[in-house]
Structure 1
Amino acid sequence: MSTHCLITGLDVVAPNGLGAPAYWEATVAGESGLRPFTRFDAARYPVKVGGEVTGFRPEDRVPARLLPQSDPVTWFALAATQGALDDAGMDVGTFDPYDVGVVTSLAFGGFEFGQRELQKSWSQGPQAVSAYQSFAWFYAVNTGQISIRHGLRGHGSVLVSEQAGGLDALGHARRLLRNETLRVAVAGAMEAPLCPWGLAGQIASGLLSTESDPARAYLPFDRAAGGHVPGEGGAMFVLERADAAFERAYGAITGYAASFDPPPGSSRPGALSRAISGALDDAGLAPERIGVVLADAGGRPDLDAAEAGAIAEVFGHRGVPVAAPKALTGRLYAGGAALDVACALLIMRHGVIPAVPYEPDLPSAYNLDLVTGHPRPAHVEHALVIARGHGGFNAALIVSTVKGGQR
């Protein structure tokens, strides 16, 4: 276990719950955060439903001076980082600041802030644009703002690999702990792309659902799947070396691997199964040791069939329970994989696997043991999280229970 790293704190911002307890309660109960857009008029857009975060009051969780300087995605990240540090019982001020670093992932950047400043430029001229636009939109902004807020001078980086980024950030943070670059890492991912400018960019991908009924808009692995629902939020974590904090750990990151698909039209097969097998090899685990797979859940027949095929290739037909908690939140891009890791840790802690919030018409060719109907009791010691980013990114990460942990 000394080669692994421990997750000792976490916090969640999700469309169906703020904070890990509220998110977990809603997820087990099948309470969805998908709803028609409320923050802007979506009448002219083909996409009508999103996973909006509600009830988040930035003035209660973010220093007032930072509010005009930053985008909601940074508000989420700052709030969740403080929550994760509090959850870990950690005062980073007691460490050498060079021993604590930050690794985040972000696929979209600060789109709402950027849209507002672009509108100022068009309507009032460039002199009206905020100087904070120079960084508020940027992919690395959360790493920078978290580091500044907490006085952290250790390694800082950002990974940009769309949905896979949440796992890539945790995998990289683990690497920094294992090679003793850091003693503690704050890592995770957040997204907030639900504004007209952000939505327009997502619509162009052709991957979004145009169904207006929230209950039918996002149906991963269903025969009627017609695209995904975009969402916002994610999760942040505190990671520590394995020799430091067994009694405070939710679990350990025991395996991680990434792969990249060949270009469209190639005769070569996709590489998702290679990432899964690589994570198992890294963890030293046989496939039958995995108690649950948290699926990427693309929500389109081609994407779902490819993922189901990769799962079956590694685990056999119906060889492992599969959960798709994104069906309750939408796809949160980089934040979605991070949120799935939080869900995996809570599954191990509480001994129950959440069900999808619909009774799927599951194609028999998928050979998938998707958890449906009701939450499934299960003793899970090892959970696998899968993520695929648009453009060919694949990542797989395994979290495991630790002996002696009190969580």
Structure 2
Amino acid sequence: MTPRARPAHPPRPARPDRTGPPRALVTGIGVVAPNGLGTPAFWDALLHGRSGIGPLTRFDATAYPVRIAGEITDFTDEEHIPSRLLPSTDRSTRLALAAAQEALHDAGAEAAPHTSANRAGVMTASSAGGAEYGQRGLAALWSKGAAHVSAYQSFASFHAAAPAQISIQHRLHGPGSAVISEQAGGIDALARARRRIRDGAPLMVTGGVDSTLCPWGWAAHLADGRLSRTGDPAQAYRPFAATADGHTVGEGGALLVLEDTRTAARRGATGYGVVAGCASTFDGPHRPRLREAAELALAQARLTPAQVDVVFADGAARRSDDLAESRALCALFGPHGVPVTVPKTMTGRLGAGGAALDVAAALLTLAAKVVPPTTGTTHTADDCPLDLVTTPRELPRLRVALVLARGRGGFNSAAVLQTPTTD
């Protein structure tokens, strides 16, 4: 079907119910993505199929066999970060600070005191910490000596630098941590923050942001052997296609503001969706467990596969991984049983930021009732019988989304999201 024209800005969220047991509601979204800086720009890009993948410019990549990535080109550090923080923060931390600022503003929660700041916290995910900052420190050490390594090196390249800086900037002095489970990290951080909400925290900032577009990070991606060698940015990332040959890397991610539904209702906050269930598993020898993660998340949400309206798939774009995910989806929903999309084909895989950005896209999808497309792949492989969404698809009755993520090493995570009015 041909979708109607959609507005550039995300739709206004719904107001949560004031009754019923407390649930974790997403009241704010902040996005830093290669195809859109800020939530409205990102959502507009998804609906129009605009990719942020292109030639690498953050360093000279001419000597490398892969020279394209999902790079954020419209982020000027000085416009988003206080000057006093520039010497002590990595790019990934700066991107996270910008996402947190947008998310808190979107939620109407920038003034921390009304959220009981001593119980409000920050739990985010990172797969590489401050990779670029660490590289600069190593270069200074080996070329000039230890005296030339920044005093900030001890924490600026640490995985927990972003949640620490967000906590300080916004006076969120409650629970805080950093999760490291690669691409699955964004969901794992969300699950941990959701538990804190259920334990009584009034507000949590959660999600994931990563940036590894530097020579050190790039060498690690190449050594892993999973990058597509296709040089065309529009064709380099083709999940579930018979010709899939790997993925494209990007930078960025998303941070969310999570609140107890009753706390949000008391202050008149609106919400994008409820985090109804989260689960994670770890692959055993010759035993992928992605399906089990999805089943556990659905059971926690008290839903069946038949109630899922859309799946945001991991979409690794390696034939063996795609086949394993397709089999898991077909076992749950049947062949062509549910619309499946992989919008990260427009950003690249973002490490810990990837699943968090998928969660943000799924929440916007719930509000707009339109599913963003998968680009790059025009037809699925015969052994991947999925209903892959390749053009924007309107689903007027869309109420439940399942988001899947897999991290290198065997991590699997799943999140179930519902519209705020879903019981």
**Normalising TM by the smaller chain, what interval?**
over 0.9
CA deviation string 1:3-24 (max 9, x = no partner): 5200000110000001111001
Q: 334-343 or 353-362, which moves further after superposition? A: 353-362
User: Residue in 2 aligned with 1:208?
Assistant: 227
User: Residue in 1 aligned with 2:280?
Assistant: 258
Report the CA distance between 1:360 and its aligned residue: 2.4
The CA distance in 2 between the partners of 1:133 and 1:359, in whole Å, is 42
CA deviation string 1:293-313 (max 9, x = no partner): 001010110111111111111
Report the CA distance between 1:47 and its aligned residue: 1.4
User: Residue in 2 aligned with 1:183?
Assistant: 202
Mapped contact 1:227–1:299 kept (Cα < 8 A) = yes
What SS does the corresponding residue of 2:243 show, helix, strand or coil? coil
- In the TM superposition, what are the counterparts of 1:142-161 in structure 2 within 5 Å? 142-161=162-181
Query: Are 1:12 and 2:31 counterparts?
Result: yes
User: Residue in 2 aligned with 1:237?
Assistant: 256
CA deviation string 1:200-240 (max 9, x = no partner): 11111111112111111111111111111011000011110
The CA distance in 2 between the partners of 1:361 and 1:346, in whole Å, is 25
Query: Are 1:358 and 2:376 counterparts?
Result: yes
Query: Are 1:323 and 2:323 counterparts?
Result: no
The CA distance in 2 between the partners of 1:86 and 1:96, in whole Å, is 17
Query: Are 1:339 and 2:361 counterparts?
Result: no
The CA distance in 1 between the partners of 2:219 and 2:21, in whole Å, is 46
Mapped contact 1:48–1:211 kept (Cα < 8 A) = no
The CA distance in 2 between the partners of 1:358 and 1:161, in whole Å, is 27
The CA distance in 2 between the partners of 1:198 and 1:303, in whole Å, is 23
Mapped contact 2:237–2:376 kept (Cα < 8 A) = no
* Partner amino acid, structure 2, of 1:277: E
Mapped contact 2:236–2:376 kept (Cα < 8 A) = no
Task: Specify which of 91, 100, 120 is matched with residue 81 of structure 1.
Answer: 100
TM-score (norm 2): 0.92
What SS does the corresponding residue of 2:208 show, helix, strand or coil? strand
The CA distance in 2 between the partners of 1:310 and 1:43, in whole Å, is 39
Q: 79-88 or 2-11, which moves further after superposition? A: 2-11
* Pairs aligned (count): 399
User: Residue in 1 aligned with 2:9?
Assistant: none
What is the aligned-residue RMSD (CA, Å)? 1.4
Query: Are 1:110 and 2:127 counterparts?
Result: no
* Partner amino acid, structure 1, of 2:361: C
User: Residue in 2 aligned with 1:376?
Assistant: 393
The CA distance in 2 between the partners of 1:299 and 1:355, in whole Å, is 16
Q: 17-26 or 353-362, which moves further after superposition? A: 353-362
* Partner amino acid, structure 1, of 2:276: T
* Partner amino acid, structure 1, of 2:172: L
CA deviation string 1:74-100 (max 9, x = no partner): 001111101110000112133333211
Q: 284-293 or 39-48, which moves further after superposition? A: 39-48
Task: Specify which of 38, 42, 52 is matched with residue 57 of structure 2.
Answer: 38
The CA distance in 1 between the partners of 2:104 and 2:381, in whole Å, is 43
Report the CA distance between 1:359 and its aligned residue: 4.6
CA deviation string 1:29-82 (max 9, x = no partner): 000000011121112212111000111111111111001101010001111101
Q: 165-174 or 150-159, which moves further after superposition? A: 150-159
User: Residue in 2 aligned with 1:313?
Assistant: 331
User: Residue in 2 aligned with 1:217?
Assistant: 236
Mapped contact 2:298–2:416 kept (Cα < 8 A) = yes
The CA distance in 2 between the partners of 1:386 and 1:356, in whole Å, is 15
CA deviation string 1:179-217 (max 9, x = no partner): 22x111011110010110001111111111121111111
The CA distance in 2 between the partners of 1:339 and 1:235, in whole Å, is 5
* Unpaired segments ≥5 residues, structure 2: 1-19
Mapped contact 1:36–1:212 kept (Cα < 8 A) = no
* Unpaired segments ≥5 residues, structure 1: none
Mapped contact 1:48–1:210 kept (Cα < 8 A) = no
The CA distance in 2 between the partners of 1:167 and 1:82, in whole Å, is 20
Hey, which bits of structure 1, 4+ residues long, moved more than 6 A?
none
What SS does the corresponding residue of 1:40 show, helix, strand or coil? coil
* Partner amino acid, structure 2, of 1:209: S
User: 1:359–1:330: structure 2 CA closer, same or farther, 3 Å change rule?
Assistant: closer
Task: Specify which of 68, 72, 75 is matched with residue 56 of structure 1.
Answer: 75
Mapped contact 1:11–1:235 kept (Cα < 8 A) = yes
